[in-house]
Structure 1
């Protein structure tokens, strides 16, 4: 696998015209250029390569937050409109609408020099890029801001970051969900309120640089879970057996994705990377000498052309169905359906408190945060709406967040409040004075994990996201190290079965789709997991992070980890013992005696992403 550099255009220095000031209309600006352009699209599906934009609405704001332009239109791409039950855009309703290329000039004017804003910005940006590519043009999008990421950075006390949930939280009327015009108007009010709150907290906005393309990785086959056991290598004397692992390389007569679909429909396991388990390589004569071909020759994997593969698929030999293992999880205590499970840490003296530590040497702050975890508190790394106390060490009063915390009425603690208290007694500390900023007063208390701690994943919590957040020890966002969150899907030998099971910025989802990168921010990234879809050959999912360049995790500082289910945060950890390390194992989800468990780790290494990947079995090209 080639670890091509992640495209970071304009990431080193803010472009000319970058402003940073509080302005009218409640918009806290760390904007790029002329202001912001808020966008919402309704689409025929989830893949920007395969599906189309059916409806688009956009509102442009100047640097003062005033509306200076709007656009809205339906489009008729001449395809199946997809989930009509969601967006209500039927063929009849779209009939007679223009095609996307009619919107290009209007969009150019609205986007030129402004930061794109969307709810799940990577999704909307990806569709705009692909539609523009089909029209033979490039849209002027250099930076974007995701309001989901902004919500996470603020740590609003909401059960999820859906636009409808945020509209209710901010008392914004939403008349027609999944209508692009109404959604973008709702987004405008959510954006104004959220950025205004970020300004009062002193939080920088999560603006990220983006190029004209949304990814550097090639179009990949979406791997369909195969119900048949792997019969091994293709044998011409026996025929092609259902469950055989097949890889396609080079140009194909049929579109690559269509060819893959036809082979998968026949019961074959179509993959993207060649491994020792690959049973057949499909390559037409004259295919370029690719790494897949070289690897297949090294391993002695049989090769057939496209026509032969399709012919074999028409008379495929029946395979053996997999036995489906039942993976139990530790049952949670009896509770009302839909409510979060009880936390073992709820009986600890400081359970439910979020404490921001300011000042002190790195070693002092690390010791205090470790003690906070022992007391049941959650150490915070930013001043957010969820912070209940601040703890000031030497020099902490000089931190700009100190004054903002005092303005919000947060109680101030000192080191002796946490270092001398007995675990079993309630410490005599000031209680927080809540500030009415629209957020609720209570949040379910998550389990706070020190490094090395293990917790059983509750029954029914199949889907969750391991989210990471950090600040820079330098404090200047333009000088932040580039941190990449990655994941490895490991078999019983502790290695990835193939390069397909390495998830990183150029390959953001696993073959079976059970793990994928999520969160689009400059200081927040995450990996979403669906345990119900994990193949039986995968024993462990390792979540890690690596730094590009010469910076280290000592420059990054503390990393906050939250494990978030749909309606609550299940567990948290703060990992901040790193100094010279450039790669780190953050956490792992693994099977043990038929159960799923989560471990917080924080183990660092001095090497970079390539060595980190190779250590987990990824074949990295020079």
Structure 2
């Protein structure tokens, strides 16, 4: 069904980036693509010269509860009798064929389409996508947030009906046109993301694994009983149907794993000489092995385990919307200290792990004073880009910017107020654009006078920055080790931890997350969130690939499994360089998609490290907190994953 309107906004002539575009918006029954369904879809196609060449929109009958009707207004009665996705998949595929898919928070729309196409058995013809949210993060317009409605108002695009798929797509067309022109003015490259084929196994619909309610007590004593929470693996043929064996184990309170690691309590197999991967790993790790009949006898007498500690209930009072920074207590690292959360590997009743390469000692950093509300520091409200210099020199310059109250930028954007030029800056390709934009430039001496404004001709007030008239506030700038409470309001349960860096030509950077328990271990391998497995079992932690220079970990605190105590966000290099060659990584935490960051930190001063713990969101009593970490390690991602209990094949 097509809902054509003559009132579509002008989307002509986006000549700066001449590509064929397919702008997409979906309304859904929930937020997890493998569990929820698409309720409505709209596609608007644009030619390279900006002419609209096609438009399609329809409601869909999902065959399930439509979810949050108060958000999208699509009731079960309204959807009943509409076509199914499979009936319109061919038409949608025609519009997507040969075009770049464009959406606001594009991975959300792409993932839902990928799962719907997989269910319908139809090929999804999308090779690349562009996220207008990621593109606007690069442009950094002077807006209080980057939500669709806010950007529409900023760019002068009329929005008629929010959360209407067709209207949102038409609005998106206007936003795309305006953003492309601004990106061209700044000489920015587009954050195009390659899309895997629909046959990628991560798009196969599957039921989520229910988290085990008990802590892992380790391995059973010789001849002793099983205890709830023990990690069990099964390999080879069994007399009892595998699904029934797993169901009985789960019902008894055991944690059935898909692989064997040093944390496995027991392996069940009827053929110890099978040579399977699980059997070989069990021998290597010293995991006890029993046959199926012995295991069934053990299932009849599983002893009570220790439930995961339930967090204290949050008090009804809420902190302010800006969050609360802390300098720590005896049990909480002080702001300004460097604190990595690599887990304690000396857990009782578990074999000692193989020694991992020793992490390098991070370069010494001068103590930095905590954020205070009293007084304005010289660079408050300024966003400063450093060009040129060796990595140690530029790192010290960025650290000095933070000390003076400013924000250290890692890329050129519309919010950059100043540029510091170090030796070699003249060869940077961005210099021509900086000169044409008349952005003030300074030499290194601009940062050397502590306690005085580097530029006396400009007021340091944030209100005088170019974005001061529209931005509600600037993010709090944290040092490495800085901690901030996440507000405890009734709606701020979704937090995005984003990481961005300068464009790389010799390597790729992957952002990953580990959802860990009280023992700093994952409850199952699926709690390792990375490109190949972009969400944990219940969808509360997700990886969003926003572009080649930024990725985001989305965390839904309200849906976190009971065992989860911490979400550790890390980055790893795929390629030859180390983080010392990559340069600064900017990390932000924001309350949901498109929101202004609550806080940010520039992770810098790396040398030979190939993996980096960037930050973490962790539970402390009734609170959730964000900590900027910035701890690097010379070993690769596989070694880092093993320290958190993930079974990684050699």
Shorter-chain TM-score: which interval?
0.7 to 0.9
Alignment partner of 1:573 out of 580, 595, 601: 601
| Aligned match of 1:465 | 496
SS in structure 2 of the partner of residue 126 of structure 1: helix
Cα 1:462–1:258 change in 2 (3 A) is farther
| Aligned match of 2:92 | 107
Alignment check: 8 A CA contact 1:276 1:299 kept: yes
| Aligned match of 1:411 | 440
| Aligned match of 2:412 | 383
Cα 1:447–1:54 change in 2 (3 A) is closer
Unaligned runs of 5+ in 1: 1-23, 474-478
Pairing 1:603–2:631 present: yes
Alignment partner of 2:589 out of 563, 569, 575: 563
Per-residue CA deviation, residues 176-233 of structure 1 (Å, 9 max, x unaligned), is: 2222111111111121122221111111111111121385547665344565666888
| Aligned match of 1:153 | 138
Q: Which moved more, 1:372-381 or 1:499-508?
A: 499-508
What RMSD over aligned residues (CA atoms) do the two structures have, in Å?
4.7
Pairing 1:210–2:239 present: no
Alignment partner of 1:222 out of 190, 201, 208: 208
| Aligned match of 2:312 | 326
Aligned counterparts of 2:162 and 2:236: Cα–Cα separation in 1: 43
Alignment check: 8 A CA contact 1:49 1:130 kept: yes
Cα 1:212–1:405 change in 2 (3 A) is same
Q: Which moved more, 1:293-302 or 1:136-145?
A: 293-302
Alignment check: 8 A CA contact 1:368 1:418 kept: yes
SS in structure 2 of the partner of residue 384 of structure 1: coil
Alignment check: 8 A CA contact 1:503 1:509 kept: yes
Cα 1:462–1:114 change in 2 (3 A) is closer
SS in structure 2 of the partner of residue 410 of structure 1: coil
Alignment check: 8 A CA contact 1:223 1:270 kept: no
| Aligned match of 2:378 | 349
SS in structure 1 of the partner of residue 547 of structure 2: coil
Cα 1:403–1:78 change in 2 (3 A) is same
Alignment check: 8 A CA contact 2:28 2:36 kept: yes
Alignment check: 8 A CA contact 1:588 1:598 kept: yes
Matches within 5 A, 1:481-560: 481-491=507-517, 494-511=520-537, 513-530=539-556, 540-560=566-586
| Aligned match of 2:60 | 75
| Aligned match of 1:9 | none
Aligned counterparts of 2:248 and 2:32: Cα–Cα separation in 1: 19
Alignment partner of 1:199 out of 170, 184, 198: 184
Per-residue CA deviation, residues 41-77 of structure 1 (Å, 9 max, x unaligned), is: 2233334334333322111111112111112222334
Aligned counterparts of 1:232 and 1:606: Cα–Cα separation in 2: 30
Cα 1:481–1:468 change in 2 (3 A) is same
Per-residue CA deviation, residues 366-422 of structure 1 (Å, 9 max, x unaligned), is: 222121111111111222122122222334355443343344443222221112x12
Alignment partner of 1:173 out of 149, 158, 171: 158
Aligned counterparts of 1:186 and 1:259: Cα–Cα separation in 2: 52
Aligned counterparts of 1:506 and 1:572: Cα–Cα separation in 2: 27
Count the aligned residue pairs.
583
Per-residue CA deviation, residues 137-180 of structure 1 (Å, 9 max, x unaligned), is: 31321000112212222223444433233323333222222221
Cα 1:28–1:256 change in 2 (3 A) is farther
Q: Which moved more, 1:117-126 or 1:441-450?
A: 441-450
Offset of residue 562 of structure 1: 1.6
Offset of residue 344 of structure 1: 2.3
Alignment check: 8 A CA contact 2:447 2:454 kept: no
Aligned counterparts of 2:437 and 2:470: Cα–Cα separation in 1: 14
Pairing 1:35–2:35 present: no
| Aligned match of 1:8 | none
Offset of residue 273 of structure 1: 5.4
Alignment partner of 1:582 out of 610, 616, 632: 610
Aligned counterparts of 2:27 and 2:50: Cα–Cα separation in 1: 25
Cα 1:242–1:471 change in 2 (3 A) is same
| Aligned match of 2:78 | 93
Aligned counterparts of 1:29 and 1:139: Cα–Cα separation in 2: 28
Alignment check: 8 A CA contact 1:125 1:214 kept: no
Aligned counterparts of 2:198 and 2:405: Cα–Cα separation in 1: 44
SS in structure 2 of the partner of residue 520 of structure 1: strand
Alignment partner of 2:647 out of 615, 619, 622: 619
Aligned counterparts of 1:281 and 1:28: Cα–Cα separation in 2: 61
SS in structure 1 of the partner of residue 546 of structure 2: coil
Cα 1:147–1:280 change in 2 (3 A) is farther
Alignment check: 8 A CA contact 1:466 1:528 kept: yes
Cα 1:586–1:232 change in 2 (3 A) is closer
